[in-house]
Amino acid sequence: MTYLLGLTGSIGMGKSTTAKMFAEAGCAVWDADAAVHRLYAPGGAAVAPMAEAFPDAIVDGGVSRDALKRIIAEDPTALRRIEVIVHPLVGADRQAFIAGVDSDIVVLDIPLLFEGRNADAFDAVVVVTAPENIQRERVLARGTMTEAQFEAIKAKQMPDAEKRARADFIVQTDTLENARDQVAAIVAGIRKGLADA
């Protein structure tokens, strides 16, 4: 039996680092963002349908995220139309990954897991969290966005407290050691449950 573990958390909470820890613990890890990159790359499954719906979004044979941002900013209906094209392709990529791996635990790294209302598709959900000051420091230290942009992204995401309330497991990423210990405990607990089943 394969145990499906959803992994989510708000921007700057340490989700990517935590996903790597699950991989190091022997779990198969699927990354929703990486799937979208594959779909948008030249030859990716999203290129042809996106070219038909949004010809201006195609740059050098692939879907340009920068072009999509401009299109969404100019047309409030664009995001929904993009989601209608991309979400089923992402779902198919996820199913193909699950079918193709031989692992007792499959971790599905999905940034907007609760917002997408598909938490029921998993055996359990892990929420990655950190104190708000650490979250802010991490995001601004990347140097890729302003404080206003960070606040705008945060405003679109479900509040951290609500995510934690819905979680089956919580990983505090205040330190790497603490996060690694929690991941090890979660994996050990799930494997024990699978062995006892």
Report if pTM > 0.85.
yes
The predicted structure's pLDDT at residue 51: 95
Q: Are 50 and 63 in contact (CB under 8 A)?
A: yes
Cα dist. 53→33, 61, 67, 85 in Å?
21, 15, 13, 9
Cα maximum dimension of the chain: 55
The type of residue at 184 is: A
- Domains and their CATH numbers in the chain: 1-27+105-197 (3.40.50.300), 32-102 (no CATH)
Q: Are 5 and 27 in contact (CB under 8 A)?
A: yes
CA 30 to chain centre: 9
The predicted structure's pLDDT at residue 76: 83
Integer Cα distance of 23 and 177 in angstroms: 16
The predicted structure's pLDDT at residue 6: 95
The predicted structure's pLDDT at residue 74: 92
The predicted structure's pLDDT at residue 118: 74
Integer Cα distance of 115 and 138 in angstroms: 23
Angle (CA) 184-185-186 rounded to 5° is 95
The predicted structure's pLDDT at residue 143: 85
If the chain, 197 residues long, is cut into consecutive pieces of 10 residues, what is the mean pLDDT of each piece? 92 93 97 94 95 94 92 89 93 94 94 81 95 90 86 86 94 94 96 89
Tell me which DSSP letter residue 70 carries.
H
Angle (CA) 114-36-85 rounded to 5° is 80
Pairing type for strands 169-172 and 3-8 reads unpaired
- Helix (H), strand (E) at residue 147: helix 147-156
The type of residue at 186 is: I
Q: Are 140 and 181 in contact (CB under 8 A)?
A: no
Pairing type for strands 58-59 and 62-63 reads antiparallel
Integer Cα distance of 74 and 97 in angstroms: 35
Locus of tokens 């299109």: 71
The predicted structure's pLDDT at residue 196: 86
